[in-house]
Amino acid sequence: MLHAVLIKGAFQDSVTLMLLSRDLSTLPDVKSVAVMMGTPANKDVYRDTGLWHEALAAATPNDLCLVVDSDGDNPDIAASMAAQVKARLTELAHSRRSAGFPVARSWRRARQLLPEANVALISIAGHYAFEPARQALEDGCHVMIFSDNVSIEQELELKNLARSRGLLVMGPDCGTSIIGAAPLAFANRIPAGPIAVVGASGSGIQELTSQIARLGGGITHALGLGGRDLSERIGGISAVCALDFIARDSASRVLAFVSKPPAPAVRARVLEAMQALGKPVVALFQGEHLARRHGGVHLVRTLDEAAALAVELSRVDANASALPQVQGRGICGLYAGGTLAAEAALLFAEAFGIAPDTAHVGGYLLRANGHRIVDLGDDAYTRGRPHPMIDPSLRNEMILGLAGESAIGVLLFDVVLGYGAHPDPAGEVARAVSALRAARGVGAPIIAIATLTGTAEDPQGLERQIDTLERAGIVLADNVRAAVLLATHAVIANTSPEGEAPALLRARPAVINIGLRGFADDLHANGVKVVHQQWEPAAGGNERLQRLIAQMQ
Amino acid sequence: MLHAVLIKGAFQDSVTLMLLSRDLSTLPDVKSVAVMMGTPANKDVYRDTGLWHEALAAATPNDLCLVVDSDGDNPDIAASMAAQVKARLTELAHSRRSAGFPVARSWRRARQLLPEANVALISIAGHYAFEPARQALEDGCHVMIFSDNVSIEQELELKNLARSRGLLVMGPDCGTSIIGAAPLAFANRIPAGPIAVVGASGSGIQELTSQIARLGGGITHALGLGGRDLSERIGGISAVCALDFIARDSASRVLAFVSKPPAPAVRARVLEAMQALGKPVVALFQGEHLARRHGGVHLVRTLDEAAALAVELSRVDANASALPQVQGRGICGLYAGGTLAAEAALLFAEAFGIAPDTAHVGGYLLRANGHRIVDLGDDAYTRGRPHPMIDPSLRNEMILGLAGESAIGVLLFDVVLGYGAHPDPAGEVARAVSALRAARGVGAPIIAIATLTGTAEDPQGLERQIDTLERAGIVLADNVRAAVLLATHAVIANTSPEGEAPALLRARPAVINIGLRGFADDLHANGVKVVHQQWEPAAGGNERLQRLIAQMQ
């Protein structure tokens, strides 16, 4: 049997409602419970779930509705419900008084209490989210809308307004942002680091940033866009704004992006903005089966791949900054292993947007734009002499031959250990590289990047081989892919736009929180200046009256 | 000025020739040196490189040719050359006498010395490799041909002969194999483990196995095929044989394969053989831009990816063996994070060859073949209640609802920590899973696999959350991709062919080494029974005579 109680004018957020619901479910003989505000949409839910009670007919959006289905026969159950809920509300009000941050009843009052506020975090029911968002934008604040069920027309109107004022709208339906370590809504504690994250997916951002943390990486900011931002209708307005912000933020050295596949026109626009960043980019367009690379943008397929590559790119960036600035922008790869050479050629071709050499004449696997990758195990080089893994003399000669070729700025090669191979391949190549550097002089530095194929058990002694390379100033990459990333980074000029970082990203934000009170608690706990605006539907939820009031303001 | 010396009837392998060449380069005033056997091909090299001397005209393939270009005026240089080379040859002969393994002058004698020999390793000049390979096959031995420059007609003839006898031909131009820890030619020392490697690329196999070792993995065997095996002409004869061997080798639990993209018809044949293995497969067809998955075969693009995934799959296999055998083959994923749900749906769709649900009605991201993945953050589930990351009650109910659904054998879900989320999400789901298991009873076990989004700094306490999951018998996967791999492994029946492992893979091989002596040294150093056949061109290199002798045998 259904029992209902209305508590008039007692607006609560959805988390408080959940807590109340849990309390009521402890009453004896309760089969099911539903605790909601009396909005039209919620009344529908009561009807759809068989929990409609005629007492609800009179409820307004500001009225707390309690409905319990009990199979017992307790005549006092309604009274118990009301007593229990009121006691809990008193308890909550008491605990909230000591929260440590101010509470306001209106936007105007909240602004007075926190004049430096620059972000509004809105998590009230989506039906009501437009008006406070518009007001915040008009007042010069960026907006994050956690709420879903905001119409796409309203979203477009808010984003156009924001664009005209240089402001960012995160959302609607934006679960997660982290700005200057301030957790906005659902957010994890992520160490500071050089990776910026932008995404149209809350749990995607949470998983990506958590995995970045687990891999020892860190973030500057994580900016949510909301799930519809990359639709044709919205056109990626917030994505373009967020990418522009990240472009101008010099602390952000690498970008990781996650979303569903954007609408085709938006995809092109977003990729263009990514290319213009002048920073390495990893993009996960979830579910897209396309190429792995679009110019400087690495396209990946899963969240773990995105996190691993973002962390790797941030380390490549850090390592590259320790390398000499080279004048020559050409890359020369001299490989004894054919498959290693081929992998390098394929990855460079992709990175530079050029075609690998398919004829392979003279062992060339790539020869274009001043770059070349050679397989020295090719028949062209093994006539009348042992394989280059055994006999390093030809490669040594070719390395020395780079003395006069100042257009080559990066030399790549493999060092292959194991049975059958030369007893000291690192020593051989290290001597050649040192001789090359001596011949080129300090005016024409060259970066030398090796990969090492071998294990700690190999007869040449892995540690000794590594040590030999390092002492010769040769950079050791973990694998061919990593070597190509580093080499590419070293020869591609940084084209990052000039200018100051956007104010939003220069310091921890100051936030006006409208909706779920817990979000304000979390911000406060993280040292973020926050005012909680205790929102409730204006004019008791009467929409005609609300529109009238809005027109008068 | 050129000086030349011939040493008649002194056949040496190419590594010895390299050592001699290095000795001669230490003579005073030497500009360049070339030391080769007097084969027609090598005579061409002398001509092409400007080192031709008329004394070479009389050289046979068994004659050692020494040519030095000296800018000095030493009249005794020829005598010095001869003396130095002879001294070195005497020294080498002496050191080799104590090698610890027998040396034979003929195949027949080698077989007498090592009756259990089952592999011939051939590294003589390619021009001569066919005949000893044919002889070894006729005599029941598998063959590895390190030599390049073997004609494709000869390769096909050898492989057809091998196929008719159930034997494997690795090569020609096969740089690397490792069988039962025996290093054949260029090979690294790799720990024992469950991964089998097959490849048409020597350096590819070396890099792949080295990286597997670096990641803590290990191998059963690594079988080389030679670079042309997957061409249309050869048709992958050795690949199919090697895959059959690996299929029957129960110690090989995962296969990693590396090659250039096979010819289309061969690609289909090889993929079919891979599918029939009944084992997880990672295939790198270098340079191919195709799908990421072909049924049970994971297609990857780089060597480091191949190694990482092979090691991961071997761990998934080991972990899966610790899980209960489930009757239900259906998978149910209940996710609070929409992007996590979507990634799971995409990866399962790929693994099972089914289409993801694109309509997303009711939050279903996949619903086919008894599997389903649901996004509980979908609007369908958030009407009138908080997001499932805050309010776990709906998911808990749905988990309990699986009590009567014995067709579901695996339950997947996410546990999302961080600000804004439930204070104990692991505890909530652990209780639900325990209740489900109690309701299903021991007769209907269910595997529960969680991913955890969060960091050690999150307010819920990462360690405590992990502990709660583990105590409830919930498997924690590193990420969604890993969760899907484990779930798929758990519900796909092992279809590995029955039967005994092939003799080649049951024990360390016994090898007759024909060509580079260093390969025999390495085998011997690794405890492999080896006889070195000291090969030289029959009939002094006279080919007409050789053919006559072959016909008489």
Q: Which residue of A has its CA nearest to B304?
A: A479
b/e sequence B510-549, b meaning 16+ C-beta within 10 Å = bbbbbbbbbbbbbbbebebbbbbbbbbbbbebeeeebeee
d(CA A32, CA A481): 57
Q: pLDDT tier at A18 (50, 70, 90 boundaries)?
A: confident
Q: pLDDT tier at B539 (50, 70, 90 boundaries)?
A: low
Q: Given CB atoms, is A217 within the 8 Å cutoff of chain B?
A: no
Q: Given CB atoms, is B34 within the 8 Å cutoff of chain A?
A: yes
Percent of the residues in chain A that have a pLDDT greater than 70, as a whole number: 95
Query: pLDDT tens digits, residue range B201-257?
Result: 899 999 999 999 999 999 999 999 999 999 999 999 999 999 999 999 999 999 999
- Is A210's CB within 8 Å of B453's CB? yes
Query: pLDDT tens digits, residue range B433-482?
Result: 999 999 999 889 999 999 999 999 999 999 999 999 999 999 999 999 99
The chain-wide mean pLDDT, for chain A, equals 91
Chain B 86-145, residues with CB within 8 Å of chain A CB atoms: none
d(CA B299, CA B293): 5
Q: What is the pLDDT of residue A388?
A: 92
- Is B202's CB within 8 Å of A519's CB? no
Query: pLDDT tens digits, residue range A263-283?
Result: 999 999 999 999 888 889 999
Query: pLDDT tens digits, residue range A139-178?
Result: 999 999 999 889 999 999 999 999 999 999 999 999 999 9
- Is B187's CB within 8 Å of A419's CB? yes
CB A336 within 8 A of CB A395: yes
Query: pLDDT tens digits, residue range A61-95?
Result: 889 999 988 887 777 888 888 888 888 888 888 87
Q: What is the pLDDT of residue A498?
A: 63
Q: Given CB atoms, is A390 within the 8 Å cutoff of chain B?
A: yes
b/e sequence B1-31, b meaning 16+ C-beta within 10 Å = ebbbbbbeeebbbbbbbbebbebbeebeebe
Q: Which residue of A has its CA nearest to B386?
A: A14
Q: Given CB atoms, is A519 within the 8 Å cutoff of chain B?
A: yes
Residue of B403, A290, A484, A533 whose CA lies nearest to A523: A533
Q: Please give the average per-residue pLDDT across B319-333, as a whole number.
A: 91
- Among B187, B291, B382, the residue with its CB nearest the CB of A418 is B187
d(CA B317, CA B320): 5
Q: Given CB atoms, is B301 within the 8 Å cutoff of chain A?
A: yes
Q: β-strand A192-199 against A219-224: which pairing, if any? A: parallel
Residue of B254, B296, B291 whose CA lies nearest to B276: B296
CB B309 within 8 A of CB B298: yes
Q: β-strand A182-185 against B408-416: which pairing, if any? A: unpaired
- Among A211, A291, A391, the residue with its CB nearest the CB of B289 is A291
Residue A35 has pLDDT above 70, yes or no: yes
Q: Which residue of A has its CA nearest to B200?
A: A339
- Among B41, B304, B356, the residue with its CB nearest the CB of A383 is B41
Q: What is the pLDDT of residue A496?
A: 59
- Kind and range of the H or E run holding A549: helix A543-552
Query: pLDDT tens digits, residue range B55-78?
Result: 999 999 889 999 988 887 777 888
**B346, burial (CB in 10 Å: exposed 0-12, middle 13-18, buried 19+):** buried
- Is A188's CB within 8 Å of B453's CB? yes
Chain B 478-507, residues with CB within 8 Å of chain A CB atoms: 478-482
The chain-wide mean pLDDT, for chain B, equals 91
CB B510 within 8 A of CB B114: yes
Q: What is the pLDDT of residue B547?
A: 65
Residue A553 has pLDDT above 70, yes or no: no
Measured between beta carbons, which residues in chain B are less than 8 angstroms from residue A302? 343, 347, 479-481
Q: What is the pLDDT of residue A125?
A: 87
Q: Given CB atoms, is A336 within the 8 Å cutoff of chain B?
A: yes
Residue B246 Cα, gap to closest chain A Cα (Å): 23
Residue B138 Cα, gap to closest chain A Cα (Å): 28
Q: How far is CA B306 from the centre of its chain?
A: 9
Name the one residue in this structure whose structure tokens are 């090969």. B535
- Both structure tokens of A458: 């190999």
Name the one residue in this structure whose structure tokens are 């072959």. B550
